[in-house]
A and B are shown apart, each in its own frame.
Chain A
Amino acid sequence: VKAPPLPKFLRPTPPRPGSKDAGGDANGANDASANGAPAGAKDRAVEGTAQVVGWLDERTGLSPFLRGFLYRKVPKGTNWYYTLGSATMFAFVSQAVTGVFLAMYYDPSPTKAYDSINHLTNDVFAGELVRGMHRWGATVMIVLIFLHLGRTFIFGAYKYPRELNWIIGVVLLVLTLAMGFTGYLLPFDQRAFWATVVGVNINASAPLMGPYLADFLRGGAEFGATTLSRFYAIHMLLIPGLIAALLGAHLYLVAKLGTTAPPWLKAEKAKALAKEEI
């Protein structure tokens, strides 16, 4: 199998005509400047980048992996619906980045949480924007993950050999919903508080395990001093770590198994075969 060609900017520059070793030394630019003919700024920038990339590649051997990962073949008929997974991932990355910065101002204590949210929304520069992105981005991520799930289901992309990826995807869906649940409490206003009370009690309504699960979530029998910090730790450390790890596995399997063609292409092929057989 021949690897696809390197992008243009990564290919070594051919030696300049008339330079000392036109025989083919990779460091063409150095030679050119040593020659007295000054290389253009653009040439030097390109050369510098290529050298840095080459240095990294020589020590990590990443380029064959990246080439296989980024330049893999996709089936005929691949369309915009195939970007829903990447869009969900982008929403997750955006949530992670805005979340990290929100954490710089947020204080997860029951007496200070509301005021700290107030402060970061109204006083901090661009606070309203960053919090708004996190708040609306959460909804966007939920919508995208369901669209992605629907696309996978309707296109039959969950079938052999991709069942494991479907299972990982379902776990990711549950974790994303858990993110929504734990994040909802953090503003600590009336809506957040009572929605979480009701949500935890819905957990408590499960037979046998329910009461224990509710006590675990609250950190005790009553909504108490550590419930908020517990939700905060689950929201910003535990679940994001799990999502990131499973996202890696999800992507690995996509790259390893490839994507499926849309179902209508298969139907066309079957029709052509049927005609041939007659």
Chain B
Amino acid sequence: VADKPPKQPPPKQSPYTAERGIPGAYAGETVTRRRLFEGSALAVGGIATAAFALPALGFAVGPIFEDDSPRRWQPIGSPPDFNPDSYVAKVISLVPAIGDGGKTTIYVRKASPKDTDSLDQPFVAISTRCTHLGCPVRYVQASERFICPCHGGIYNIQGQVAGGPPVRPLDRFETRVHEGQVEIGDRFSVNKKLERFSPRDPSNHLDGLWQYLYPARPTT
């Protein structure tokens, strides 16, 4: 083994530009004017870019963080119109002033003693948005099932999954009786045991460990 010469530390450069032999340097100066201008030009450019890019980005993603649906109640009929054994289809407006795109059908019946939920609503208002991928389900009275045309999701009379790919029961809407009218309020989601959760997108699980993979909206 040939003995290597011990590693010499590289000669320390003086922090002073004048001592490093840079022409035009001032005494006591540690940063060259060129380096200073490079840095400040980059910093100014970065600040200017951030000044327009960050507000624009916030503008685009803002709706995630703001609650754009103020709580409102829509009358759909008087209490005797509904009974506990069959559903009545009603059209409500989810998003006002955008025509048919903002409307949706819901199915409403009176709450029944046979219901196993503890949601404490005078009426059961079921959303027709399938919890698989959001297609509109329809209610078939003969089989007492909600059936989705897209991928074959099936729900029972309480909206619980009876078959097919859906991950949780059908969403519901808040109901109340106000001045002699049945009124429909905000959407909420329910899990397998019909416990109340904040409104979630279709395909978001609400049971077991899965529910932690699908966080609630920041606004709810």
Contacts and interface: CB of A to CB of B under 8 A. Distances in A.
Contacts of B60: 216
Interface residues of A, number: 30
A99 interface: no
Interface string B130-162: 000111100000000000001000000000000
Contacts of B102: 110, 222-225
B63 interface: yes
Nearest to A209: B215
B23 to A, nearest CB: 34
A100 B76 CA distance: 45
Interface string A173-209: 0000000000000001000011001101110110110
Given A110-B99, A215-B64, 15 more contacts: A188-B101, A198-B133, A198-B134, A200-B134, A201-B133, A201-B202, A204-B201, A204-B202, A205-B133, A205-B203, A215-B217, A218-B63, A219-B63, A225-B102, A228-B101
Interface of B: 60-61, 63-64, 68-69, 94-95, 97-99, 101-102, 133-136, 150, 199-204, 213-215, 217
Nearest to B202: A201
Contacts of B202: 201, 204
A194 B135 contact: yes
Nearest to A202: B133
A212 interface: yes
A211 B95 contact: no
A235 to B, nearest CB: 15
B7 to A, nearest CB: 35
B150 A198 contact: yes
A212 B60 CA distance: 12
